[in-house]
A = this chain, B = another copy of it.
Amino acid sequence: MRSFYLYIYINFNFFYLRLQQFRHSDQHVWRAAFCSCGTEGDPVWMGSISKAHSHVKELLSNAPVESVVRVTGTVSPRPLGQENPKMPTGDIEVKAETAEILNSCKKLPFEIKDFIKKSEALRMQYRYLDLRSSRLQSNLRLRSRVVMRMREYLCNLHGFVDVETPTLFKRTPGGAREFLVPSREAGKFYSLPQSPQQFKQLLMVGGLDRYFQVARCYRDEGSRPDRQPEFTQIDIEMSFVDQAGIQRLIEGLLQYSWPEERGSIMTPFPSMTYEEALAEYGTDKPDTRFGMKIMDISDVLRGSNIHFVQSALSYPHGSIRAICIPQGVRYLTNKDLESLKESAKSQFNQEIMEIIRRPDGSLKSLLTKFLGEKERSELIQALNMQEDDVVLLAAGEHKQVCSALGALRLLSADLLEAAGLALRDPTAFHFLWVVDFPLFLPKAENPTELESAHHPFTAPHPSDASLLYSDPTKVRSQHYDLVLNGNEVGGGSIRIHSAEQQRFVLEKVLKEDSEVLSHLIEALEFGAPPHGGIALGLDRLISLIVDAPSIRDVIAFPKSFRGRDLMGNAPDYVTSEELEPYHIQVSWPLEEKEAKKN
């Protein structure tokens, strides 16, 4: 006889079941209510059906896999010696007396087993079947549990108030990636906000001084892999708090809600300035699970007579930097090294020079002939080069050099791991705060103009406040990012609470029309408390906790990377009558217009 999910899905190999007593019934008469792993709440007994009446056996044997069956019978402990501690259902057995098929299952488009990797499109079309896989079951149940623990921490232990904010709002300045929602007033549109930023600040002005929300947010980025048009963030704002206050809160929050089965996390998290992160890791979200940091060797080579070195060092922010790939000779092929160099060239327009330390201790590189014995040994020492290590060296403008080497560091790590070198512990969780970001950045399209590095409500660093009026490019912000294993999982800031300063930033520094934010600026004039907050990207955080390759694996009904729901076929065409109340019509691209005509 096959084994099966009792009262849920006739299945193979093993089953979980939850038993629910009949109301008003003898306690030995029961129905198995449903299968569920890892749920809390009602008592769960595990067992396996045996010794059933023959008609029960027959029914169960003939029911198609994944059918829903109700079984009535008696549960009892397994006979002594027959317990199987390796099975979740190994303690009890079930004496089935009657069985009834409640809903039978037609032929499945794929087997519901984790190891059967069907195309993601097929799995998304039949998402309700994929949801039965133990992987998705456990991801979604863990997500629910983690969020519940977060709520307990915020609401019950720290006096936060869960406040729902509107999602039908209006376009924020520069919010080019906000979905629009036509209203019944001709020409007027709501927009679906990218975050409750304005509302949470207004709540602080409104005296709800500890706000949080598990907030649905929207971002229309067209086709982007591993982004979703709607996503969820743990959104937090507090009055009378500083950067450290938010950081300690979040560390406590994560520690409290961290799922036991993933070990524990240490607090406080280490912290690094943006400048340090850029200089050592070439990114603002360093993966600190492994070394291979970027090293500055400008001073070692400064005396050399190498043309490209001298040329790089003559720039205002010129620098010579390198990463050292441990055992690179043994784990990386020449093709690997070529592809690394090519990637630096194509992505960052950065030439890379390679230095190899031979087993005999000597260096192999185009550089060596330009270096004296002393410089060579200084280089080996500065880079801590061991035999068979490969160094990738870049010369040029500081930020470009660091960014290129940062990207190569990650690519090399992937290559080393693919080749069998254990570099990053898959069970390790390295949280990191990155702080002291610049407040403004030159605009890409016109570097003489400035834009906010994060958003215009970010407060300047207290030590740089006066620079705001004299040299805004030098002002650091009170923005902080939370990074986990090289992924940004949160970001926030202390906000500007002075209307005057907010107006100065918008009008004088960013040259933006502050009219559209007039309600927020005016609110600051009514005794707004100092405040700050943070948002954690829940989808990304959970996907890292469960080690899922994509955020789609921790979302019940995700969209495809083109923003489509493949199960329900959304978005979809609507009739022009349906558009009428909203005073809009479709502007068909020319070829579609023609096609429609025919």
User: How many copies of this protein are present in the complex?
Assistant: 2
Task: Determine whether the beta carbon of A187 is less than 8 Å from that of B586.
Answer: yes
Residues of chain B within 8 A of A185, CB atoms compared: 571
Q: In the complex, what distance in Å separates the CA atom of A232 from the CA atom of B497?
A: 31
Given A34-B209, A519-B567, A557-B166: A592 and B187 within 8 A (CB)? yes
Within 8 A of B (CB), among A190-212: 190-192, 198-199, 202-203, 205-210
Tell me if A528 counts as interface (CB < 8 A to partner B). yes
Contact B583 A584 (CB under 8 A): no
Q: Which residues on B sit within 8 Å (CB–CB) of A377? A: none
Surface stretch bound by B, among A140-148, A301-309, A388-396, A503-511: A140-148
A556 touches B132 (CB 8 A): no
| Separation of A143 and B164 alpha carbons in the complex (Å) | 10
Identify A128's interface contact among B523, B565, B570, CB under 8 A.
Answer: B523
A337 is an interface residue with CB less than 8 A from chain B? no
Any B CB within 8 A of the CB of A443: no
Binds B, one of A343-351, A353-361, A417-425, A572-580: A572-580
Are A66 and B527 in contact (CB-based, < 8 A)? yes
How far, in whole Å, are A416 and B570 apart by their CA atoms in the complex?
53
Partner of A519, one of B7, B208, B568: B568
Chain B residue with the shortest CB-CB distance to A557: B166
- Decide: A568 and B169 in contact? CB cutoff 8 A: yes
* Pair A171/B574 contact, Cβ less than 8 Å: yes
A184 touches which of B10, B33, B102, B220 (Cβ 8 Å): B220
- A35: B residues at CB distance < 8 A: 207, 209
Cross-chain contact A182 with B184 (CB below 8 angstroms): no
Does A448 interact with chain B (Cβ within 8 Å)?
A: no
A277 within 8 A of B: no
- B68 lies within 8 A of A527 (CB): yes
Does A240 interact with chain B (Cβ within 8 Å)?
A: yes
Given A106-B525, A187-B588: A168 and B230 interface contact (C-beta under 8 Å): yes
Interface members, chain A 97-139 (any B CB < 8 Å):
102-106, 108, 126-132, 136-137
A56 within 8 A of B: no
Q: Is A364 interfacial (CB-CB < 8 Å)? A: no
A559-598: which residues lie under 8 A (CB-CB) from chain B? 559, 563, 565, 567-574, 578-580, 582-589, 592
Question: What chain B residues lie within 8 Å of A39 (beta carbons)?
Answer: 159, 161, 210
Task: State the Cβ distance, A241 to closest chain B Cβ, in Å.
Answer: 9
Per the bound structure, the CA–CA distance linking A552 and B8 in Å amounts to 43
Task: Determine whether the beta carbon of A7 is less than 8 Å from that of B571.
Answer: no
Given B10, B144, B170, B218, which contacts A568 in the complex, CB threshold below 8 Å? B170
Contact B105 A570 (CB under 8 A): no
Per CB-CB distance, the 5 closest pairs between chain A and chain B, nearest first, are A131-B206, A41-B159, A105-B527, A170-B570, A39-B159
